[in-house]
Amino acid sequence: MKTFKMLLFSVATIFFLTFSHSAVSAHSPDLHEGVSGNDVKELQVKLQKLGYFQVAPTGYYGSITKNAVVQFQRDFGVSATGFTGPQTREKMKQVDMMARTVYGEARGERFEGQVAVAAVIKNRVKSNAFPNSTYGVIFQRNAFTAVNDGQYWLTPNASAYRAVREATKGSDPSAGATYYYNPVTATNQWIFTRTTIKKIGKHVFAK
């Protein structure tokens, strides 16, 4: 009887430790109120560039960071939990990719032109003629000069991030374009056959 009780206790202990470890592991990648560190600071910097975080990054996840995350989640169509679960982390990756593309392609353009470039990315994701994901659109072969020449890997500024935010919230200065190009530097003659919609700065937007 004693042996049976010891065996039962051992099994219960193993189950408890396994369950506890799984629960901690499942939650450990999420940033939430009360945690601190470099990951939190990096999140705050991005939220600041997007216009959600109005104070200096501290590395501590308090109520100000939580409120900023909730605003981000609401604008980008993620459940407003206030912590960075898998959906929020994935959405932030998409925002980073778009901001890198906007910065690499249009950092010399006025803000309207940057929003238009971000809108083109979103228009392509929605179109059946292009890949149906942000990653697929941006890394489609020869789709963006910034990816080909490495400018994609530059660190985007606040303007690029906020352009992505505006496009995500529905702003589309390109008027539905799925293409854009600089007529002075374009070398692919095919692009000139596309129907022009409008010109913003140095870029012609077309479909």
| Cβ-based neighbour number of residue 105 at 10 Å | 25
Residue 14 and residue 173: Cα distance in Å, rounded?
A: 59
Q: Tens digits of per-residue pLDDT, 143-173?
A: 999 999 999 999 999 999 999 999 999 999 9
Residue 104 and residue 5: Cα distance in Å, rounded?
A: 66
**pLDDT for 106 beyond 50:** yes
| pLDDT score, position 26 | 34
What are the phi and psi torsion angles at 165 (to 5°)? -60, -45
| pLDDT score, position 3 | 46
Q: In what order do the strands lie in the sheet with 203-206?
A: 179-181, 203-206, 196-200
Query: Which has the minimum average pLDDT: 3-12, 16-25, 178-187?
Result: 16-25
Residue 127 and residue 129: Cα distance in Å, rounded?
A: 5
Task: Read off the tokens for 190.
Answer: 């095919």
Residue 41 and residue 58: Cα distance in Å, rounded?
A: 6
Q: How confident is the model at residue 27 (pLDDT cuts 50, 70, 90)?
A: very low
Structural domains present in the chain: 31-83 (1.10.101.10), 89-174 (1.10.10.2520)
pLDDT more than 90, % of the chain: 84
Task: Read off the tokens for 128.
Answer: 């059946």
The model's pTM: 0.84
